[in-house]
């Protein structure tokens, strides 16, 4: 797996201790601070961001990030926000986001721009990101949203779980292995993408779409079905290929995985949680290249798509 240092050698990590909280209504202060942090990125890191931006690479993991904070025990229940003494990992996410676009979120995921991913007791077999024993399905985030899906997904691991890895599949690899008929079918509006369970709502649309001459993917293995037998068979071919082509990215404490959400699909393997405070914990965030106010929280399941600015 690719990895590289995010900060230049002379970076003083005391700077990260001053990070303002991202768990507030107005993230302007955080973003101002992130502008300072971003200036300390290494040349190597800047070229990674450029390569991500021009699509030459579709994901990258920065490792050994110079974060030195006391991470509280991983909770067992889903609480809206867990106090930490400092916001160093969040500061790294915010600074990296500025290289790629604008931070935004979905109201259904969190009330904040950065959300917490850890195994929740009672949800071990669920399909959501709080699952553990069950593998998280291959997906692109926000895949059913009628207007906005992230260009990039950021996953900062603050507590490692050696038995869980992320799985990544490049769209170009998929296309290279699909039959010509399946490739053509995936570009047709023959797939029902679930938007919400309650009320039951879905969008019928393609899985592969050309956007400004570039092929992009929006898919969720568990929430998309074919509208007929033929399109369902196409999905079976697609799903089988994803398993074959997936590359493993082990999570390491203090690593930041950035995924191009239009050019790659991701998932996470299953693992057995301990619920002893030492379970895996990842901070997630979404970035868009669209011109929206930073910190916008978008309603995922609303018909008219409420874009409520919180800053
Ligand atoms: O747990 C992970 O590593 C991935 C979580 C994820 O993909 C999500 O929350 O959408
Ligand atoms: Fe995801």
Q: From the centroid of its chain, how far is CA 247?
A: 16
Q: Calculate mean pLDDT across residues 236-261.
A: 97
Mean pLDDT, the chain, as a whole number?
A: 93
- What pLDDT sits at residue 300? 63
Residue 302 has pLDDT above 80, yes or no: no
Residue 112, ligand 1, Cβ within 6 A: no
Above 80 in pLDDT, residue 304? no
Ligand 2 centre to CA of 221 (Å) is 12
Which pLDDT value is given to residue 305? Answer: 38
Residues β-bridged to residue 168: 247, 266
Q: In angstroms, what is the span from residue 51 Cα to ligand 2's centroid?
A: 21
In the prediction, which pLDDT does 198 show?
81
Does ligand 1 come within 6 angstroms of the Cβ of 282? yes
d(C-alpha 240, C-alpha 236), whole Å = 6
d(C-alpha 83, C-alpha 81), whole Å: 6
pLDDT at 267: 98
Protein residue with its CA nearest to atom 7 in ligand 1: 267
Whether residue 119 has pLDDT greater than 80:
yes
Give mean pLDDT, residues 99-119: 95
Percent of the chain with pLDDT over 90: 86
Count of domains for the chain: 1
Q: Which domain holds residue 80?
A: 3-308
Confidence of residue 195 (pLDDT cuts 50, 70, 90): confident
pLDDT tens digits, residue range 79-98? 767 888 899 999 999 999 99
Mutate to test the pocket of ligand 1, among 110, 126, 284, 285 (most ligand atoms within 8 A of CB): 284
9 C-alpha to ligand 1 centroid (Å): 30
Q: Which residues in 193-222 are b (16+ Cβ under 10 Å) and which e?
A: bbbeeeeeeebebbbbeeeeeebbbbbbbe
pLDDT value of position 80: 62
Domain containing residue 97: CATH number: 3.60.130.10
- Tell me the three state secondary structure of residue 291: coil
Please tell me the distance from the alpha carbon of residue 28 to that of residue 274, in angstroms, as a whole number: 38
Q: 26-64, pLDDT tens digit by residue? A: 999 999 999 999 999 999 999 999 999 999 999 999 999
Mean pLDDT of 161-167: 95
Give the residue, by CA position, lying nearest to ligand 1 atom 5: 129
Q: What pLDDT does residue 2 have?
A: 53
Only one residue has tokens 């699509």, namely 55
Alpha helix segments (H runs only) across 18-151: 28-38, 43-53, 88-100
300: number of Cβ within 10 Å: 19
């Amino acid at each position: 797996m690719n990895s590289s240092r995010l900060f230049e050698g002379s970076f003083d990590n005391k700077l990260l201790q001053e990070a303002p909280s991202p768990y507030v209504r107005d993230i302007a202060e955080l973003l101002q601070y992130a502008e300072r942090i971003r200036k300390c990125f290494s040349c190597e890191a800047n070229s990674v961001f450029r390569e991500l931006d021009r699509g030459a690479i579709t994901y990258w993991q920065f490792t050994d990030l110079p974060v030195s904070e006391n991470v509280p025990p991983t909770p067992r229940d889903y609480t809206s926000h867990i106090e930490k003494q400092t916001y160093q990992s969040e500061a790294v996410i915010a600074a990296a986001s500025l290289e790629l676009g604008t931070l935004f979120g979905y109201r259904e995921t969190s009330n904040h721009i950065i959300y917490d991913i850890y195994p929740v007791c009672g949800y071990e077999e669920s399909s959501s990101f709080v699952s553990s024993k069950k593998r998280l399905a291959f997906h692109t985030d926000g895949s059913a949203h009628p207007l906005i899906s992230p260009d990039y997904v950021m996953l900062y691991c603050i507590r490692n779980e050696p038995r869980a890895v992320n799985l990544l599949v490049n769209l170009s690899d998929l296309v290279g292995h699909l039959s010509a008929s399946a490739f053509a079918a995936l570009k047709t509006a023959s797939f029902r993408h679930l938007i919400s369970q309650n009320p039951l709502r879905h969008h019928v649309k393609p899985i592969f779409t050309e956007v400004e001459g570039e092929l992009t993917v929006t898919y969720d293995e568990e929430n998309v079905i074919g509208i007929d037998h033929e399109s369902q068979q196409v999905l079976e071919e697609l799903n089988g290929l994803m398993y074959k082509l997936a590359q493993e990215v082990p999570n390491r404490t203090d690593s930041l995985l950035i995924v191009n959400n239009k050019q790659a699909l991701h998932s996470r393997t299953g693992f057995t949680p301990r619920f002893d405070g030492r379970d895996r914990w990842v901070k997630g965030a979404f970035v868009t290249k669209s011109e929206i106010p930073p910190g916008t929280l978008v309603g995922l399941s609303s018909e008219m798509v409420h874009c409520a600015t919180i800053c």
